[in-house]
Amino acid sequence: MIALEGGRLLVGGSLTMNTVPEFFAEGLQYLNRDKLVLDFSQVEIVDSSAVSLLLGWLRVAQQNKRELRVANLPASLVSLAGLYGVTDLLPSQEV
C-alpha cells in the first residue's frame, strides 16, 4: 500500500521480493515532489528487496534533483542495509 498524505508518502504492508516491483513502480509517480518524506511506519515485513526499493527511489530522486527524507524505517530494514554495507547511503531519519 502506498498513499500520499500531504508531503508524506506512506508505505505499508510487506516489502518483499514479490511486492517490491509493484511498490517501486507505484512510488515513482510521487518522486517528482520536492521534499517528500517516505514514511515506513505501516510496513509489517521486509526482506533484502526492501533495501533495493529504498535505494532505487533515492537514486531516481537524486537524478531528478529532488530531496527525499525517510521516517520510521523498520529496524529490520536498517539491519539489512548494515549487513550489505549500504547504511551510509540511507538518508537520515526524521523524527
pLDDT for the residue numbered 91: 85
Residue 65 to residue 32: CA distance in whole angstroms: 9
Q: Quick one: average pLDDT of 5-12?
A: 94
Q: Which of 80, 63, 66 is nearest to 38 (CA)?
A: 66
Q: Is residue 38 over pLDDT 90?
A: yes
pTM over 0.95: no
Q: What percent of the chain has pLDDT over 70?
A: 99
Q: Strand pairing partners for 33? A: none
Q: Do residues 15 and 53 make contact, with C-beta atoms less than 8 angstroms apart?
A: yes
Chain-wide mean pLDDT for the chain?
94
The structural domains of the chain, ordered by start, are: 2-76 (3.30.750.24)
pLDDT for the residue numbered 35: 86
Query: Mind listing the pLDDT tens digit for each residue in 10-32?
Result: 999 999 999 999 999 999 999 98
> How does residue 88 score in pLDDT terms, banded at 50, 70 and 90?
very high
- Antiparallel, parallel or unpaired: β 68-71 and 93-94: parallel
Q: Is residue 95 over pLDDT 70?
A: no
